[in-house]
Amino acid sequence: MAAPRKYPEELRERAIRMAVDLRRDPATKTGALRRVGEQLGINPETLRNWVQQAEIDEGHRPGVTTAEAQRIVELEREVRELRRANEILRTASAFFAAAELDRKLK
């Protein structure tokens, strides 16, 4: 289960939008994340991570998108479940094979 989010989604989107707008203008680019973070009460490093992920999601920066990351998590969960099911079936198969062998030997 995911941890509860510290910041509401609306605040996150607003902060990203403000930071991206400020970074587009060369006059306000330097320190934009720090200024927006201070205005909205968000750690600048957190805001930097949000902006980077938004740029990846929009295709402006290389990396794994949020949707791809979620899909990977789902696939990894499915692989774990399938491996567990296979192990259960392997164990059951060995058990019944041994029981069948015992029955044939008697």
Instruction: Kindly report, residue by residue over 42-71, the tens digit of the pLDDT.
Output: 999 999 999 999 999 999 999 999 999 999
Instruction: Answer yes or no: is pLDDT of 1 > 60.
Output: no
pLDDT of residue 24: 87
Which one is predicted more confidently, 50 or 94?
Answer: 50
Range of the domain at 71: 65-105
Total domain count, the chain: 2
pLDDT of residue 2: 60
- Decide: 11 and 46 in contact? Cβ < 8 Å: no
pTM summary value: 0.70
Burial of 25 (0-12, 13-18, 19+ CB in 10 A): exposed
Which one is predicted more confidently, 97 or 62?
Answer: 62
Question: What letter would DSSP give residue 64?
Answer: -
Tokens of residue 48, six digits: 């930097």
Question: What letter would DSSP give residue 7?
Answer: S
What is the rounded average pLDDT of the residues 85-102? 88
Residue 77 sits in the same domain as residue 55: no
- Decide: 33 and 48 in contact? Cβ < 8 Å: yes
> How many beta carbons lie within 10 A of that of residue 22, not counting itself?
17
Residue 42 sits in the same domain as residue 2: yes
Residue 69 sits in the same domain as residue 59: no
What Rg value do the Cα atoms of the chain yield, rounded?
A: 26
